[in-house]
Structure 1
Amino acid sequence: MPKTKWLLNTLVLICFMDLFIQLPVMGPLALSLGAGPFQIGLAVGMYSLTNMIGNMLAGIWIDRFGGKRVLLVGLFATAGILLLYTLVSQPGELLTVRVLHGLSGGLLVPSAFTMVSRVASDRDQGRSMALSGAAVGVAAILGPAFAGIMKASAGLDWLFIAASALLLSGGGVVLLGRIREDVGRSREQDASSSRAKHVFIATLRNPSAAMAYYGAFALMFAMGALTYSLPLKAEALDLPDQAAGLMLSVFGVVAISLFVLPSNRWFDRVPPLRLCAVGGGIVIVSLFALSLTGLQMGMYVVMAVYGLGFALLFPSLNALLVSYVRPEHKGKAFGMFYAFFSLGVVAGSSGLSAFTGDYDLTLRIASGFLLATCCGVGLWGIRRARRESKAMNPSTG
């Protein structure tokens, strides 16, 4: 089992490398093809938009065919599509490839995390998700750095070829790693798909599952606002060119440290909802504090604190979702979960950037929006839990 977990976390790393490698190069690639500002924004955002569709399709197929098969299809399809980037010669062709890339890439992450949740025991779901979160953090640090080095030394074509080879190696890990997956379905469940759909919808009405979906959106909304605002702020303050990247690396290092150190036991000992509340509060305060500071050292400190909030949120949201979703519906649950991730990125970056070009105002709006919606969702969950408690125990009302 430990070997299987390491293989699965390696796959999580590879899946997220596909995302983080492309982030710093897609805008410059669109610009080099003669794209205007609108087309550049469309090229960057199109991946996330179609990725949501891929996430939803992945969820349905995972529960039907198993995460291993869907992951294999996603890895090999995405590896082939990455090679198409080397052939594009105009903005329209780039947009077509971005659509295909988003769809195939949407199969990767839900499949990998569903497999992680299925090999973990009920007692260590939180710690298992924390270790997977560490793999995500490593990808967030290595991906942009690898893209920058390859672009400078070998060119964009070889970057996409290397990324394709990386995904093909991931397919080899799946095929040769002898990873067993307990899909958790029976013939009776397959035969009654309509009943299964109703059961899944009923599961989503659970306040904790709904909060997990909102948390996924909120976490990536904050990340989208941050990745949009931080480079602009660093440039306006005349900080070194690498400052924004180093600040993001600080956040990643702090998050990874909490994921891999003995502190990862928190995720199995402390209720996920409590960790989500604390982590969400830290993220909200960090965004607002970042908008107030103009000192380089202060920005580094704030990003370290933000890393703490992210580290508390990411595995707790995954564990919260897994705790309230039946095994045979985990694929659909994770598909929706990462669709909300993609939606949050689009809303936090493209949405806020369309509203204002002021980086500090963007951070404050993001902080205020998250504070208001977190409070609203929290109150909704408390009231719903009380109503359900009274319905189950009428004598206590």
Structure 2
Amino acid sequence: MKETTIEKMYIFIIIFFITLMMRIQVPIFTPYASILGASSVIIGIILSATSFTNLIGNLFAGPLVDRIGKKVFITVPVFISGGLFIAHGFASNSGQLLLLHALNGFALAFMIPAGFALLAGYAKNSHQQGKNIAINGILTTTSSVIGPIIGGILVENFGYETTYFLIGSGMMLTGLYATHFLKERAEIVRVSKGNQRVQSVSLLSVVTAPNQFIIYLAGFAVMYIHGVLIYEIPYLTVEQGYSTVTTGQLFGVMGIGTFFTLSLLFINRFNPLNRLMVGLFGMSLGLFVLLTSSLPLAVPIFIIGLFFGLIMPAMATAITDNVSKDVYGKAFAVMSAVYSLGIIASSFITGVVRHIISPYFIAFLVGMMILTIMGLGRREKVNAPIHKEKETRLIS
């Protein structure tokens, strides 16, 4: 039991530092791209292209993670990502930045489903699953709070190029730690009559399973809203002269809201689908406040972060409740792909229409429309989870 706890701690630490490095660059990428000559449309294209390569990587990652293992798809991409972040500092134009960012999106695509699948293997039931995801959420949200602030401070003191070098070096150090401490979890399979292996489950079957489709719809809406914020908040440095420290602090405020909700561990006892719907409504409400009130920007961003913290553990728990462990890799890969699709759509649409109509208004409409679809879908009670046969460990 103690050994299992230590192994989980290693996963938490690795995911924390990976998230920290990724969050450090959130407030600095948009102004850096602008300095290299990228317009708002080009920045939207870069972010969309990155999410598209991330989506493609997610679809490759799912079957490979289930078949080959999780550790290799965490450690190798970390090293590749570290090298690509360092290369960001040597970019001389927006075209090079597009290529580097897109390649980085592909590399990072393998880590998230592998990390979630590895962590999910340590839970024996839905409550433990929710607790593990919530603890992981607290740690990654902590990195989301301090990461953008660190990024803003680093740029103010050392410049963009040095900051990207430090991000890449941090990634590589995390890769070394993962190589040494991360352990592969024993393979878990499903058996049916006659101890025969269950036939493999396709990605399409994962997506179209009962309840699973509305879970992924919620994920799309959440990431669409999140993508608009990732685009718009850093752009304040270009349009209104905000410093990277200030925009980093705004992301920190969002992270504080998320952290507060994640720290309420008793919430994990409630139905995850209900939590998804309440969370999506709350994020949409935050956008409405942002659009219609004269409150400081930090207030609606805090509200959005508050409900974002309700959604993320609920998303993972809802997925693991609905599929068996031998398809966790595919299920989380689809989840990551849907997240990427939300970012693709929001980044591209925001870059194109932001001078015509508020991107926040479009994000509000997306959130409310998908919330309505989810509400209608919940009325049809279908209980047919994928392969919920009896679980057994593979005996050598």
> Residue 209 of structure 2 is aligned with which of 191, 206, 211?
206
Q: How does 1:175-324 map to 2 (within 5 A)?
A: 175-185=179-189, 195-198=199-202, 201-230=204-233, 244-260=247-263, 263-267=264-268, 269-296=269-296, 299-324=297-322
Which stretch of structure 1 is more off in the superposition, 95-104 or 348-357?
A: 348-357
Gaps spanning 5+ residues in structure 2: where? 385-396
- The structural deviation recorded for 1:20 is 2.0
- The structural deviation recorded for 1:332 is 1.3
Partners of 2:94 and 2:241 lie apart in 1 by 32
Which stretch of structure 1 is more off in the superposition, 30-39 or 328-337?
A: 30-39
Q: How does 1:351-366 map to 2 (within 5 A)?
A: 351-357=349-355, 361-366=358-363
**Secondary structure of 1:196's partner?**
coil
Q: How does 1:82-231 map to 2 (within 5 A)?
A: 82-122=85-125, 123-185=127-189, 195-198=199-202, 201-230=204-233
What amino acid sits opposite 2:124 in the alignment? Answer: S
Partners of 1:241 and 1:124 lie apart in 2 by 39
User: Counterpart of 2:327?
Assistant: 329
The answer to whether the 8 Å contact 1:212/1:318 transfers is: no
Partners of 2:21 and 2:211 lie apart in 1 by 30
Compared CA separation, residues 385 and 58, structure 1 to 2 (3 A): same
Partners of 2:353 and 2:63 lie apart in 1 by 35
Partners of 1:150 and 1:378 lie apart in 2 by 45
- The structural deviation recorded for 1:88 is 2.8
Deviations 1:241-298 (A, max 9, x none): 86554343222112112323xx21321x1111111121122112111121111132xx
Compared CA separation, residues 239 and 157, structure 1 to 2 (3 A): closer
Partners of 1:273 and 1:289 lie apart in 2 by 25
Partners of 1:376 and 1:316 lie apart in 2 by 18
Q: Give aligned pairs, total.
A: 378
Partners of 2:254 and 2:289 lie apart in 1 by 15
Which stretch of structure 1 is more off in the superposition, 362-371 or 63-72?
A: 362-371
**Secondary structure of 1:283's partner?**
helix
- The structural deviation recorded for 1:62 is 0.6
> Residue 54 of structure 1 is aligned with which of 47, 53, 57?
57
Compared CA separation, residues 374 and 358, structure 1 to 2 (3 A): same
Partners of 1:72 and 1:315 lie apart in 2 by 24
Partners of 2:227 and 2:59 lie apart in 1 by 21
**Aligned CA-pair RMSD:** 3.0
- The structural deviation recorded for 1:237 is 9.0
What amino acid sits opposite 1:11 in the alignment? Answer: I
Partners of 2:234 and 2:26 lie apart in 1 by 13
Partners of 1:158 and 1:166 lie apart in 2 by 12
Partners of 1:209 and 1:40 lie apart in 2 by 32
Q: TM-score, normalised by structure 2?
A: 0.85
The answer to whether the 8 Å contact 2:225/2:346 transfers is: yes
**Secondary structure of 2:211's partner?**
helix
Gaps spanning 5+ residues in structure 1: where? 389-397
What amino acid sits opposite 2:138 in the alignment? Answer: A
- The structural deviation recorded for 1:105 is 1.4
- The structural deviation recorded for 1:321 is 0.5
Partners of 1:153 and 1:244 lie apart in 2 by 16
The answer to whether the 8 Å contact 2:58/2:113 transfers is: yes
**Secondary structure of 2:57's partner?**
helix
- The structural deviation recorded for 1:347 is 1.9
Partners of 1:238 and 1:334 lie apart in 2 by 39
Q: TM-score, normalised by structure 1?
A: 0.85
The answer to whether the 8 Å contact 1:30/1:43 transfers is: no
User: Counterpart of 2:388?
Assistant: none
- The structural deviation recorded for 1:70 is 0.9
- The structural deviation recorded for 1:230 is 4.9
Identical aligned residues as a percent: 23
The answer to whether the 8 Å contact 1:59/1:332 transfers is: yes
The answer to whether the 8 Å contact 2:12/2:136 transfers is: yes
Partners of 1:241 and 1:172 lie apart in 2 by 30
Compared CA separation, residues 239 and 216, structure 1 to 2 (3 A): same
